Structure 1
Amino acid sequence: MKISADVHAFCARLGYEFSDSELVTRALTHGSISSSTRPDNQRLEFLGDRVLGLVMAEALLADDKAAAEGVLAPRFNALVRKETCADVARQIDLGSVLRLGKSEMLSGGRRKEALLGDGMEAVIAAVYLDGGFEAARQTILRLWGKRIADVEVDARDPKTALQEYVQARGEAPPSYDVVQRDGPDHAPKFRVRVTIASGQSEEAVASAKRQAEQAAAKALLEILEDG
C-alpha cells in the first residue's frame, strides 16, 4: 500500500520508516471512518498502551535506581496518561494525518485530546508490530525525551492530589462544574470551577474539559497547601 506525501512526512517526524505501510494507515484511522474493509485503530491503541507502559516502566527504573514503587507509580502515570500522549502527538503533528469521518472533522477532531492520545498509542503499536520491541522502545524514548528525566518527584495528577488532600481532612471529594463554554465546536473553551466542602473554589479555562478540571484543581491545591 502506497502512503500519501502527508503520511510520509509524518513518518519522518515520527522518526520511523514502515516496512508495512498498511500498519501506519490503520493506526491513523479513527472509528468514525472505519468499515469492514478499512479497520480502525482501536485494537492498535490497546496494544500501544501496553508497549508504552513497559518502555516507561523500564526507563523510570533505569533513571532512578533508588526510587520506591510508591514514588515510581505516579511518575509512570504522568508519562503514560492520555494528556501526555496527546502532547507528544501534537509535537509531531499527528492530528494533521488522522483519517476522520466528516462529523469528527467538523467538530475539531484533529485537535481533540482523546483522539490524539489514542492515535499516538496506535502509532506506537504499529511501530512495534512493524519493527519489534526495540524499534518501539527507541521511538518512544526519542519522542518522550526529557519528559522522563523531568517528571515531577510527586507526579500525581492535580485532581487526584486534591482529592487525597481533602479526604485526609475528612472532607467529601471535590465537585467540578462547567460554568461557561465558549467558542465553536472545533475550538471550544471550557471554564470549570472546582469546589470543596469548606466552600473554597477556583476556576480555570482550557480547550478540553478535563484539562480545565486539572488546572482548576492545581490552582486550588496550591492555595490550600500554601495556607
Structure 2
Amino acid sequence: MNEKQDDTLAGIEARIRYRFGNAELLQEALTHRTYVNEAGGKDNQRLEFFGDAVLDFLLSDLLLKRFPESREGELTKMRAALVDEVSLARIAAELELGASLRLGRGEEKGGGRQKRSLLADAFEALLAALYLDGGIEAARRVVHELFEPLLESQELLCGRDAKTDLQERARTLRRELPRYQLKDATGPDHDRRFTVEVYLGDELMGEGVGRTKKEAEQDAARAATVLLKGEQ
C-alpha cells in the first residue's frame, strides 16, 4: 500500500473507531472485482457474502432486545428495511467508503464510487472484515452505533414498507393503484441487480434498483412517494 492508501484506510478506521490488526482484510473489503481483473489479488465478494450473514444476525439480536414485544412478522419487516440497498449505501456513504474503493478503470469511469450496489456490498464486506479481525463484539458495537439511530424512524417502528405507503397515498390522491414493471436484470446469478419501474396509470412515477425484485420495488416505491408528497 502507498501512503495515500494508508491515509484512506486510516480514515475509515477512525470513523468506525476500530484499528485493524490485519490491514489486508480491510483492503480486501474495499476491492471490487473489476480491480482484480486488471491488477490481480482478492476481491470483496467472499467477504460480502459473509458480511450479509453477520449483519442479519447482529440486527436480529438488536431488534429482539430493542422491541421485546414485537412479533416475528414485524421484526422481519424492520430488519428488511434496515438492510435494503438504499439504507446500506447511505451508511457506506457516511463512512466515505466510496472514496476508498479500489475499482477497475471502466468501473471508475462509470461512476462506481457513487453506485448504491457497490457501496452496499462494500459495507457488508467491511463488516465481515471487522468480524474476522476483531470478533463478534467489535462488529456488534459498530452495527449498534450505525443502525440504532435508524430505529427511531416511525415508518420502521410501525413495520410499514414503502409499497404499502405508496399504495395508500396513491389511492387517496390519485384514486389509482401502483403498477410495478421489471425493466432490467443484470449481473451473474450470485450478484443480480434488478431495475423496476412503478407507474400510476400510464405515468412513470419512479425507478428502483435492488438485489431482488422485491427490494427494487421498495426502492421504486420510495421514489414515487417523494413525488406524491409534493401533491399534498
TM-score under structure 2 length normalisation: 0.74
The residue type equivalent to 1:104 in the other structure is E
The residue type equivalent to 2:120 in the other structure is G
Normalized per residue, the structure richer in helix is 2
Is the alpha carbon distance of 1:172 and 1:202 closer, same or farther for their aligned partners in structure 2, counting shifts above 3 Å?
closer
Q: Could you tell me how far 1:205 is from its partner in structure 2? A: 7.7
- Among residues 146, 152, 158, which one is paired with 1:154 in the alignment? 158
The residue type equivalent to 1:175 in the other structure is Y
Residues 1:218 and 2:225 are matched in the alignment: yes
Q: Distance in 2 between matches of 1:118 and 1:193?
A: 23
CA-to-partner distance for each residue in 1:135-177, whole Å, 9 max, x for gaps?
Answer: 10101111223113436233444246657999xxxx9971348
The residue type equivalent to 1:214 in the other structure is A
Is the alpha carbon distance of 1:165 and 1:72 closer, same or farther for their aligned partners in structure 2, counting shifts above 3 Å?
farther
Q: Could you tell me how far 1:61 is from its partner in structure 2? A: 0.9
CA contact (8 A) 2:178 2:198 kept: no
Runs of 5+ unmatched residues, structure 1: 179-191
- Among residues 133, 140, 143, which one is paired with 1:137 in the alignment? 140
Taking the TM superposition and a 5 Å limit, the aligned residue runs for 1:117-136 are 117-136=120-139
The CA RMSD measured in Å over matched residues stands at 3.5
Residues 1:19 and 2:21 are matched in the alignment: yes
The residue type equivalent to 2:7 in the other structure is A
CA contact (8 A) 2:181 2:197 kept: yes
The corresponding residue for 1:8 is 10
Is the alpha carbon distance of 1:37 and 1:101 closer, same or farther for their aligned partners in structure 2, counting shifts above 3 Å?
closer
Q: Distance in 1 between matches of 2:111 and 2:140?
A: 31
Q: Distance in 2 between matches of 1:172 and 1:204?
A: 14
Helix, strand or coil at the partner of 1:195: strand
Q: Distance in 2 between matches of 1:150 and 1:84?
A: 12
Q: Distance in 2 between matches of 1:216 and 1:128?
A: 34
**Aligned pairs, how many?**
204
TM-score under structure 1 length normalisation: 0.76
Taking the TM superposition and a 5 Å limit, the aligned residue runs for 1:1-227 are 4-35=6-37, 37-150=40-153, 152-159=156-163, 174-176=179-181, 194-196=198-200, 199=201, 201=203, 203-204=205-206, 213-218=220-225
Q: Distance in 2 between matches of 1:136 and 1:26?
A: 17
The residue type equivalent to 1:153 in the other structure is L
Q: Distance in 2 between matches of 1:91 and 1:116?
A: 10
